[in-house]
Amino acid sequence: MTPSPAHDQVSHPAGHDILRTALGHAEAVLNGRLRAAFAIGSLAHGGFVPEVSDVDMALIVDRADEHTDESIVTVRRHTIRDYAGSARHALAERLSIFWSDWENLRTGHHAGRFPATDRLDLLDSGVLLYGGDQRATCARPGHGDLLLDSATFAAAKCADPDHLRMLRDADGLARKGARAVTKVVLLPVRLLYTVVTGALGRNDTAAHWYTATPRTSGTLVHHAARWRTRGIADVTAAADLLGHELLPLYRHSLDRIHHEVAASGHTDLAARLARLHATLT
C-alpha cells in the first residue's frame, strides 16, 4: 500500500517530514497491521507554528488491543531517535500519536488512544497519509461527548501539582518561553470553547471567541495568541501580565465548565471541578 497523494496538504514541511518518518516506522513496527494514517491537529487544519505546535498523527490499525500501545510507543521512540542532534529534534519530541481501529471509530467506543476532541478533528480535518479512508462510516462525537472529554481533561490538569506550580510562578513560566506560556494560557480557553460550543477548540478560533466580548483575562488571552506566532519580546512584561491574569483566567474557565457539567447531570465530575476551583487562589 502506498502513501496517499493527499499528504501534500500537510501545512508545513518540517511537520510533514516528522510525519513521513513516523509513518515509515509505523509500517515497520506494526508489520502489516496498519490500515491508515492521517495528519491531524494544526498540521491538518492550519495554524501550525514549528516553535510551539505539536505534531499530531492518527494511526488506524487492524484491531486495537493490549499489544498495540507498546508498538505505538516504539514508533514514537524510533522517530525521535532519528532526529537526535538535528535541528528538528525538539519538534520530533512533540510527536503525538492517536490510535484506534475502524470498528471502534464506527461505534464510538474508546479502545486505543483517541479522545472525543481528537476524533472530531480526524473526521473534520484529517489529511490522509496512507491507506484507505473510512471516516464516512465513523460515529461523530456529540456535544455531550466533547463536554465530558474536555471537562475531565480540565479537572486532571487543575489537579496536577506541576501544572498548579506553573500557574503560581509567573516569572518562572515567562522564562520558559512562548511555547510553555501559550500552552498554559490557551489550554483553558480551548477547553471552555469546546464545552460551551460543542466545536473543536483550535487555538486561534478559541482565543478570538474568548476576546470577542469583555471577559476575565481577555488581555492575557489576546497577547498569548500573538505570542504563539511572534514570540515573547518582553519577558518581564509577560510575567507581569501572567501574574495578574493567569489564575483569574483559570478560575473563570473552571467555574463556567463546572456549571456546564452540572447542568448536564454529571454530578460527581461537577463536584470535583467545584473543589478544584476552590484551590485556584
Q: Domain map of the chain by residue range?
A: 5-137, 143-279
What is the CA 170 to chain-centroid distance, rounded?
Answer: 23
Chain segment 29-61, per-residue pLDDT in tens: 999 999 999 999 999 988 899 999 999 999 999
pTM of the model: 0.91
What stretch of H or E contains 55? strand 55-61
Comparing C-alpha atoms, which of 52, 38, 40 is closest to residue 4? 38
**What homologous superfamily is domain 5-137 in, according to CATH?**
Beta Polymerase, domain 2 (3.30.460.10)
User: What is the predicted pLDDT for the residue at 11?
Assistant: 62
The DSSP bridge pattern shows strands 127-131 and 55-61 to be unpaired
Amino acid letter, residue 196: V
Higher pLDDT, 220 or 213: 220
pLDDT exceeds 60 at position 2:
no
Average pLDDT, integer, range 99-110: 93
At 47 the pLDDT is: 87
- C-alpha span between 3 and 50 (Å, rounded): 24
Q: Which grid coordinates are listed for 36?
A: 491508515
Q: Which residue has the higher pLDDT, 67 or 257?
A: 257
Cβ atoms 75, 47 nearer than 8 A: no
pLDDT of 1 reads: 44
Query: Across the chain, what does the average pLDDT equal?
Result: 94
CB 249 within 8 A of CB 217: yes
